[in-house]
Amino acid sequence: MYKKKITRVNLKEKSQYSNIFFAKAPTTLFTLKLRCSGVCPDDHPVKSELERLRLYQEKLQRFIDLSKALLRLSTTLNNQAASRFMEHSLPDLILEQRQSMRDISRAEDLKIKYVE
């Protein structure tokens, strides 16, 4: 399952996941060694290390999800908001031009009317 997941991510994410993996693997092996020797790992400081790695992994996942979400949001343009912004930033519009901008912002008429 880990192999399928790692092939779908880009190189930067692979390196970040591999850092977590290389930190988590020896800690997990040490936890197994403790269990095999009869020591409860819940009472050992290794538990705090596993908790720290888990928190880091969650932070990394949130960061990756956030960076992907920002890319998706920034690729769209809100035409209505843009036309309102343009209407208020251009004070010298004539009445017909202002009405045309309002129609665009209300999405009543999507065709732009050019005044000659």
The per-residue pLDDT string of the chain (116 residues; one tens digit each, 9 = 90 and over) reads: 455 555 555 666 677 778 888 889 999 999 999 999 999 988 899 999 999 999 988 988 888 777 776 655 555 677 777 777 877 788 788 888 888 877 777 765 455 554 55
- Domain extent listing, the chain: 2-74, 77-116
Position 97 scores a pLDDT of 82
Position 26 scores a pLDDT of 93
Long-range contacts of 75-84 (CB under 8 A, 24+ apart): 79/104, 79/107, 80/104, 80/105, 80/106, 80/107, 81/105
Position 60 scores a pLDDT of 84
Position 90 scores a pLDDT of 80
